[in-house]
A and B are shown apart, each in its own frame.
Chain A
């Protein structure tokens, strides 16, 4: 055991037993212990990285920047505040979303976003990574559903931003900036989420085609109806594309919406309207959720809806590995392993720009010594 390990053991009141990619894995059991680890890192010029603890850190992560220790949030688990009649839930960062979903659904609520793998995704991981869910077209992006967070900072404090309420404008919305900041503004140790009603019924439309043009035309026809779809997305298959559209709501509304959608795109096959009781429709929903190919190893491109078709065509011509297109969101997901240098990849914020300078000042405001920084520039 090294001297540094003894320091960690003193801070955490437990031995460090695990080393991953050459760095010890720290398992703080309280939010203050997370902040204490960060403060120690700041005092000793270390680079620390929070991980959910549900997955082993991948080599790609360690290569981004030096990591002197991993902070696993696995022990920060469980609900902090839950009232079945309020429509919000507050959970510790290491809580798997599957646990939050189970309790919310038992009272008729759905957790947003509907992440692809709730068993292995934690509340904190979802927020730090800014993971998009399946229903963003209808319900808005993740940052709309994060009502507040508690953040552990490298100065040893744990601070809150936002609240546990559905509406609140008190103080600055640091929680919005922390959403998708990949932990660079502090370690999310607790979060409050907005819930939406679990659908009473739903239907799914699907269609396979080998032609991107035909799939896009069908998607645009669906989006031009008055149906407020949960999602309209195409997934690339070995022999073409599968277009899937979901709508959920009251049974009587679903029936009307299904008719309107099929009038617009008669070639699509409908699952038929069914109640949402954990049966076949819920299983199919989970399949669509799991089809999300985002995350590490993938790139997301955002564009205007009217630019989306052309952009996909150009990507396909350039042999890019396009995996998924969210038509309503104008969001294209492609794997970057084959063509990491393609110019159509989203450019990072231009160095030296007003935006880049401001982002740097914000990171330094909350992490002045770069304990949580992922690149030397930040």
Chain B
């Protein structure tokens, strides 16, 4: 550790206290990556502020020092968004876990952004309210991470992704100023800075507090498991549900490899092992509405070859069905030591064709791919099992990831539906966007962070931005 870094650590300790600064290498190593495990870099320092004020004071110091800053929630992200590739200081929100206010009558909560997603629901369920976005990692991921990535989850089919539920934010800027946008108004006063900030992947600033819309818990919830002997047919069933404008709250598909992994794990949910795919569909609302919606779901599933449709209203049965889905990534650990979770979005009327294309891309490269995805939103998650100690296999995995992105873009799709661009999809940004598009985004980023110190090397390919900037200067 250099003398300058040691001095910086001491100065930060004066603001944050001894527990707020981690400078020993053994304490910093756990922060070297997020869920994208094949890209790692140990941060130079880790700081853990407790309040917005502490965070702002620390950020002022870091601005003066001119060091890169990377924010991190629980590190459950899957695109490398919290990996400090340029070194610098990692700001963790692990000690910012207070629920500051629950206003049940106005249906919102104010929380520090280190609050775990599911803990917010636990905090407000006594009022008959809950927080709707439910990423698979919701037992660990934080509200701050959800804000950074604009996280989704199965029930975002009905309820929308994180951005729909964030009413306000308190943001500490790159310079250490506090931008208070926390008042829970429906329309922004001025530009919609909150809407712009959500999903900015930590490149605009650090959200330290969030004002969040809470959703009334539904009176009745029913979950259906439709069992298909053909993945294509399951995809077609989903496309028809969209075409017929059926409105359940979640429409998920799990394929055979996923089913086997789940059923061979402690999360066994009772999915039939001989199925090629299962559709997991949930509806919520009043009794008559749920029944009618699920009748439509069952009819369409059977039209597309479902051999059985099991329906559950009992909470324990439903929890078991969902535990299998939400634990699917963990269960894939039985197949291989590492898992590459891809994330792409495609038009919903082309599901069958694109799921096939993804499978073929992996098959050609002799890779094991499992599909477990938010079919109702067209949000594919091809999960490729591999061993990162095998360089050739890792190369084939990355090559397949790129091909998947290209196929989805060619079909009118997009790079990421909920995991973010991070490090993983940087190259894809130049396939999806023109240089003019990227230049405009670069300028927006620099409006927030002129020195580009916040999470450098993420989200936007800076090479493309610099080339465009030169071109633009020539033009004007």
**CB within 8 Å of B: which residues of A?**
42-43, 83-87, 108-109, 130, 132, 136, 140-141, 143-144, 151, 153, 155-161, 163-174, 176-177, 179-181, 185, 197-198, 226, 228, 249-250, 252-253, 255-257, 300, 302-306, 329-331, 346-349, 354-356, 358-359, 361-362, 364-366
Q: Complex formed: what's the CA distance from A226 to B180 in Å?
A: 33
Residue from A163, A359, A362 within 8 A of B345 (CB atoms): A163
Residue from B198, B416, B417 within 8 A of A173 (CB atoms): B198
Q: Complex formed: what's the CA distance from A167 to B160 in Å?
A: 8
Q: Is the CB of A87 within 8 A of B348?
A: yes
Residue from B103, B286, B413 within 8 A of A253 (CB atoms): B286
Nearest B-chain residue to A140, judged by Cβ: B164
Nearest A-chain residue to B219, judged by Cβ: A226
Nearest A-chain residue to B472, judged by Cβ: A155
Q: Is the CB of B374 within 8 A of A167?
A: yes
**CB within 8 Å of A: which residues of B?**
103, 105-107, 149-150, 152, 156, 160-161, 163-164, 173, 177-181, 184-193, 195-196, 198-200, 216, 219, 239, 242-243, 245, 247, 285-289, 292, 345-349, 374, 377-379, 412-421, 425, 429, 432-434, 436-437, 439-441, 443-448, 459-460, 472, 475-476
Chain A min CB distance to B411 (Å): 11
Nearest A-chain residue to B165, judged by Cβ: A140
Chain B min CB distance to A36 (Å): 12
User: Known interface pairs A165-B414, A171-B421, A302-B187. Does A358 touch B475 (Cβ–Cβ under 8 Å)?
Assistant: no
Q: Complex formed: what's the CA distance from A37 to B267 in Å?
A: 61
Q: Is the CB of A358 within 8 A of B193?
A: yes
Subset of 8 A-B contacts with CB under 8 Å = A155-B475, A167-B378, A173-B199, A177-B444, A253-B289, A358-B179, A362-B191, A362-B196
Nearest B-chain residue to A150, judged by Cβ: B437
Nearest A-chain residue to B244, judged by Cβ: A108
For B199, what are the chain A residues with a Cβ–Cβ distance below 8 Å?
169, 172-173
For A173, what are the chain B residues with a Cβ–Cβ distance below 8 Å?
150, 163, 195-196, 198-199
User: Known interface pairs A86-B349, A159-B436. Does A257 touch B286 (Cβ–Cβ under 8 Å)?
Assistant: yes
For A253, what are the chain B residues with a Cβ–Cβ distance below 8 Å?
285-286, 288-289, 292
Q: Complex formed: what's the CA distance from A164 to B378 in Å?
A: 12
Q: Is the CB of A83 within 8 A of B349?
A: yes
User: Known interface pairs A173-B198, A226-B216. Does A366 touch B245 (Cβ–Cβ under 8 Å)?
Assistant: no
For B185, what are the chain A residues with a Cβ–Cβ distance below 8 Å?
302-303
Q: Is the CB of A165 within 8 A of B347?
A: yes
Question: Apart from A185-B191, A256-B289, what are 14 other A-B pairs with CB-CB below 8 Å?
Answer: A132-B187, A156-B475, A159-B439, A165-B345, A169-B419, A171-B460, A174-B441, A252-B289, A253-B286, A255-B288, A356-B190, A359-B190, A362-B447, A365-B446
Q: Complex formed: what's the CA distance from A84 to B245 in Å?
A: 10
For A252, what are the chain B residues with a Cβ–Cβ distance below 8 Å?
288-289, 292
Q: Complex formed: what's the CA distance from A173 to B448 in Å?
A: 14
For A361, what are the chain B residues with a Cβ–Cβ distance below 8 Å?
447-448
Q: Complex formed: what's the CA distance from A102 to B292 in Å?
A: 28
Residue from B346, B347, B415, B444 within 8 A of A170 (CB atoms): B415
For A304, what are the chain B residues with a Cβ–Cβ distance below 8 Å?
103, 106, 184
Residue from A155, A163, A176 within 8 A of B195 (CB atoms): A176
For A300, what are the chain B residues with a Cβ–Cβ distance below 8 Å?
187
For A43, what are the chain B residues with a Cβ–Cβ distance below 8 Å?
476
For A356, what are the chain B residues with a Cβ–Cβ distance below 8 Å?
190
Residue from B196, B288, B443 within 8 A of A176 (CB atoms): B196
Q: Complex formed: what's the CA distance from A158 to B459 in Å?
A: 21
For A136, what are the chain B residues with a Cβ–Cβ distance below 8 Å?
186
Q: Is the CB of A83 within 8 A of B186?
A: no
For A153, what are the chain B residues with a Cβ–Cβ distance below 8 Å?
440
For B412, what are the chain A residues with a Cβ–Cβ distance below 8 Å?
164-165
User: Known interface pairs A84-B243, A365-B446. Does A170 touch B200 (Cβ–Cβ under 8 Å)?
Assistant: no
User: Known interface pairs A86-B242, A155-B475, A177-B195. Does A168 touch B441 (Cβ–Cβ under 8 Å)?
Assistant: no
Q: Is the CB of A355 within 8 A of B186?
A: no
For B379, what are the chain A residues with a Cβ–Cβ distance below 8 Å?
167
For A166, what are the chain B residues with a Cβ–Cβ distance below 8 Å?
348, 377-378
Nearest A-chain residue to B443, judged by Cβ: A365
For B247, what are the chain A residues with a Cβ–Cβ distance below 8 Å?
197
Q: Is the CB of A302 within 8 A of B186?
A: yes
Chain B min CB distance to A156 (Å): 7
User: Known interface pairs A167-B417, A253-B286, A358-B447. Does A180 touch B187 (Cβ–Cβ under 8 Å)?
Assistant: yes
Residue from B105, B161, B286, B418 within 8 A of A256 (CB atoms): B286
Q: Is the CB of B429 within 8 A of A130?
A: no
Q: Is the CB of B429 within 8 A of A172?
A: no
Nearest B-chain residue to A88, judged by Cβ: B347
Residue from A130, A165, A250 within 8 A of B413 (CB atoms): A165
Q: Is the CB of A349 within 8 A of B189?
A: yes
Residue from A130, A348, A358, A365 within 8 A of B187 (CB atoms): A130
Tell me which of B107, B152, B178, B286 has the highest count of chain A C-beta atoms within 10 A of its own C-beta: B286
Chain A min CB distance to B380 (Å): 11
Q: Is the CB of B414 within 8 A of A354?
A: no
